[in-house]
Structure 1
Amino acid sequence: MLTAASKISDLVLIASGAVIAHALTASNMPHTSSGMLFILLDVVLALLILRIFRVYRQRFPRTGTAAIVPTLAAWLATQSLMFLLVCAFPDGHGMGVEWLVASTVITGILLVFGKYVLSIAQRWLGAHGYGQVPVAIAAFCADSHGLVEQIVARKNPGIFIPELILDAGTTRDTVVEGLPVVHEIETFAQLVRGHRIEEVWIVGPSANQGAVGQLVSAFRHDFVNIRVVSDIGGENLPEPAIVDYMGLRVLNLVASPERGLALLPKAVFDRVFALLALLALAPLMAIIALVVKSTSPGPAIFRQYRKGVDGRVFTIYKFRTMRRDADRPGTVVQARVNDPRVTRTGRLLRRTSLDELPQFFNVLKGDMSVVGPRPHAIEHDDYYKDLVQNYMYRYRVKPGITGLAQISGFRGETSQTEKMTGRVRLDIHYIRHRTFWLDLKIVALTVIRGMTGSGAY
């Protein structure tokens, strides 16, 4: 949340500084469109260099003094490049060295002011209980007790709230500082689920690997972030697995990608793309619905429960491609070659992926994304989650209409566990490396291969 606020704040302040500087130094020159483009270039270049300097790298962002040095360094690097551009194009854009100097000073002051305002806002929100994260603490060795005591003492008040402790070194369950302390991993896991805790922190420098493995296995079907807290004081540990989170240096064992405003660009892209697609494809979809309805008894739209982000169940929409009541309740059999349940129209729709078009309504509702791991039938999830490693990690993000696995040959039936393993491997690769440009590439390849690809029947 604060990372996104920091990005938005920097964007507004850099643009404001450039415009104010232009107003102060260009009184004798008209406001030209090329001048405005030059200001836009300054803003875009600044945001790019801020990312290169890793100002926004941390999950829990630096604010105040800790954020000023890298921010100003990135800003000075930006203005150095802009100086070269001003010298290369002295005429034609209405921007000169005076504007550059004024912009550098004014924006620098605004950025420093903005970082301190964010720091004050962070402390105020924490003091009033906003953004508090309930956590469960797992300790597997005696060396961990001091670290547990520091966390329980709420060294960072208002940011995280310890609610439960697993102490594998004890022989009985007890209560410490009003917090339940249990000694068995299974009991700990049940309480975490019952309390709806989404953060589990493993503390201690020498946690037993076997015990950690048991803990990770206990939550393999849950959407719980599991992190290792190395040191309350913090050390310079390598990135990216080890990050600054809630003011602590932690090792992410299992964690969801960034949430909140960080996903706003993808959410906007999804909604706009889905709306445009539905408007453009409305006549085709109406024709398909009429054909489906007229060629076999039953509704034109097929509805089925699927899991979405963090395992939340939603109803997915598709054009019906099978005969009515083709599946028995509680069981789902994948379509296969020459499947007698598939209608003649349905076979064409499945081969061309046109049966997926109604899922743009799922995207508009926010249940799905245009690009992401394909959601499977819940019965398939229950079957494969114990057979394929990291299977449920696919649901750490919104499922998609298309995905990296689908354009890479893993489309349609997964009759063998090896095929599902390959699909899951590509889904996880996408989650870890997803970018806007990768999404566009997947969409383009889906359109190209959708009419000619094999694997769906």
Structure 2
Amino acid sequence: MSSIEFAPETPAFGTHELAVRVLDVVWIVVCARIASLLRFDELSPQAVDTALVTFAAAFTLVVFPVFGIYQSWRGRSILRLVAQVIFAWVAVQLCVLVLLFGLHRTDSISRLWFVTWSGLTALSLISTRVVVRSVLSHARNAGLNLRHVAIVGCGSHCEDIVRNIRRSPSTGFRALAAFDARPSHSVSRARVPTFDNFEGFVGFVRRNGVREIWLALPLSEEQTILRFVNEFRDDFVNVRFIPDVRSLALFDSGVTDMLGMPAISLVGSPLPAHALMKKEIFDRIFAALALLALLPILVAVAIAVKLSSPGPVFFTQKRKGADGRVFNIYKFRSMRLHTEQAGELKQATRGDPRITRVGALLRRTSLDELPQFYNVLRGDMSVVGPRPHALEHDELYRKIVSGYLQRYRIKPGITGWAQVNGHRGETDRVEKMERRVEHDLYYLRHWSFALDMRIVAATVLHGLVNRNAY
């Protein structure tokens, strides 16, 4: 565990949540009027804009709960919350535009007003939550609005949880006690009062009004889990199970619902469905904008490739996509036409005579990869993800590099964590591929929208020219 983080709780619809929803609607209306004042020098929007704002407010009340915006975010990343709000608001605006397009009302909307209103509203929705989060963080650091936690565990897993609680005081969690389920695996280093007597621990929890008990236990401790669940079944205590599955699970996966039953994925996609949806929306929008913005460059490169040597402009090759699905990847051709022996593939090497002069420039600057935005637009690839390799390399490395095929649990990317850390180009030694796979698996375990943005920024600023690309 790198940080204290739980899936959002779903509290009963109460005064707090109602106030937040009302405030969101107020911001939508207020920002619409401010945008109208900036665009038309009047506070009252035109009739069609009023309809659009009304639709947006209605869709917000429906779409935001789907993205978990109104659930408890205690102990969760502020960057993830901001990303959730942005994606939810974009989804609302898309719904509104689709509806207005169906009503043939889009022509009468001022584009400048719409952009201004969308931006102001997004900024207001985010700012409100950041301010509230900051106020709550300061209050929790000062000892207010706390949730006291008692931990039941054994060994390093329990110690890690206590350590993470101490490192994150702004979450409002405070560890008061620990119960050592296996006295031979001492948790005394957790620096909290530690019990090995069940009755003594239970009495401490009730005397001190602890409202959170975290069971940080391996799956083999079923009897211990049942004992604590049964003991506190009739108390107003939240009993949470934080299973120690590090020896079993390939990725840190949360609990999912399978036919109404909770299930923990030990081997499967490392990204939950809502994360994949956000990634998909970003990919399609980014790819479409990139293709439009880069169109002059794409045309110029295509002409240069055509003039450099006989042959097609584009090079296509079979690659594995998400869950092993095969697709055709597109690149600008950088080599002279040649034939490969069946079942063999020779990687480009430094000074490779097959590479044209134009191709060498394209490979060094990564311009040969630009057609892959078309793959992203088609849904074959993602903007950020593990780089796909030729099928022949997949068959070779799957047998000798641990975890190699797990890279294909999500869509491959144009750029990735391995690439921005210098692991690109020829893999003439197994060690090079092992380091690349290590970085890819790190990306899968630690994925966040913020990490994707960091990789995109690093690619644009530092990754276009690379000495390992030839």
TM-score by length of 1: 0.53
Task: Compute the displacement of 1:266 (Å).
Answer: 1.5
Query: Take 1:414 and 1:272, find their aligned partners in 2: how far apart are those partners?
Result: 32
Please give the root-mean-square deviation of Cα atoms over the aligned residues, in Å: 4.6
> Which residue matches 2:446?
433
Query: Take 2:352 and 2:26, find their aligned partners in 1: how far apart are those partners?
Result: 69
Task: Compute the displacement of 1:242 (Å).
Answer: 6.9
**Pairing 1:310–2:323 present:** yes
Is the contact between residue 254 and residue 264 of structure 2 (CA under 8 Å) also seen in structure 1?
Answer: yes
Letter in 1 for 2:424: R
> Which residue matches 1:273?
286
Letter in 1 for 2:242: P
Is the contact between residue 381 and residue 413 of structure 2 (CA under 8 Å) also seen in structure 1?
Answer: yes
Query: Take 1:367 and 1:347, find their aligned partners in 2: how far apart are those partners?
Result: 26
- Match 2:255 to one of 243, 250, 258: 243
- Are residues 242 and 257 of structure 1, via their aligned partners in 2, closer, same or farther at CA, if it must alter by over 3 Å? closer
- Are residues 262 and 302 of structure 1, via their aligned partners in 2, closer, same or farther at CA, if it must alter by over 3 Å? same
Is the contact between residue 326 and residue 341 of structure 1 (CA under 8 Å) also seen in structure 2?
Answer: no
- Are residues 280 and 242 of structure 1, via their aligned partners in 2, closer, same or farther at CA, if it must alter by over 3 Å? closer
Query: Take 2:352 and 2:337, find their aligned partners in 1: how far apart are those partners?
Result: 14
Letter in 1 for 2:453: L
**Count of aligned residue pairs for this structure pair:** 283
326-335 vs 278-287, which deviates more? Answer: 326-335
Is the contact between residue 319 and residue 388 of structure 2 (CA under 8 Å) also seen in structure 1?
Answer: yes
Q: Secondary structure at the match of 2:241?
A: coil
Task: Compute the displacement of 1:258 (Å).
Answer: 3.4
> Which residue matches 1:419?
432
Query: Take 2:18 and 2:321, find their aligned partners in 1: how far apart are those partners?
Result: 37
Letter in 2 for 1:406: Q
Task: Compute the displacement of 1:405 (Å).
Answer: 0.4
**Pairing 1:47–2:40 present:** no
Task: Compute the displacement of 1:284 (Å).
Answer: 1.0
Query: Take 1:47 and 1:348, find their aligned partners in 2: how far apart are those partners?
Result: 46
Query: Take 1:30 and 1:280, find their aligned partners in 2: how far apart are those partners?
Result: 30
Is the contact between residue 242 and residue 249 of structure 1 (CA under 8 Å) also seen in structure 2?
Answer: no
- Match 2:399 to one of 363, 375, 386: 386
Q: Structure 2 unaligned segments of length 5 or more: list them.
A: 1-6, 36-42, 44-52, 81-128, 137-218, 231-238, 244-251
- Are residues 340 and 48 of structure 1, via their aligned partners in 2, closer, same or farther at CA, if it must alter by over 3 Å? farther
Q: How does 1:306-385 map to 2 (within 5 A)?
A: 306-385=319-398
Task: Compute the displacement of 1:256 (Å).
Answer: 0.9
Q: How high is the sequence identity, in percent, across the aligned residues?
A: 46
Letter in 2 for 1:425: E
Is the contact between residue 368 and residue 398 of structure 1 (CA under 8 Å) also seen in structure 2?
Answer: yes
> Which residue matches 1:153?
none
Task: Compute the displacement of 1:328 (Å).
Answer: 3.1
> Which residue matches 1:136?
none
Is the contact between residue 382 and residue 413 of structure 2 (CA under 8 Å) also seen in structure 1?
Answer: yes
Letter in 2 for 1:273: F
> Which residue matches 1:256?
269
Task: Compute the displacement of 1:254 (Å).
Answer: 1.5
Task: Compute the displacement of 1:312 (Å).
Answer: 0.3
Query: Take 1:361 and 1:439, find their aligned partners in 2: how far apart are those partners?
Result: 19
Query: Take 1:410 and 1:325, find their aligned partners in 2: how far apart are those partners?
Result: 27
- Are residues 22 and 409 of structure 1, via their aligned partners in 2, closer, same or farther at CA, if it must alter by over 3 Å? closer
Letter in 1 for 2:444: I
Q: Structure 1 unaligned segments of length 5 or more: list them.
A: 58-77, 86-203, 207-229
Q: How does 1:38-437 map to 2 (within 5 A)?
A: 47=69, 50-52=72-74, 81=132, 205=220, 236-239=240-243, 243=255, 245-246=257-258, 248=261, 250-437=263-450
1:372-404: CA deviations, max 9, x gaps? 000000100000001000000000011000001
Letter in 1 for 2:241: L
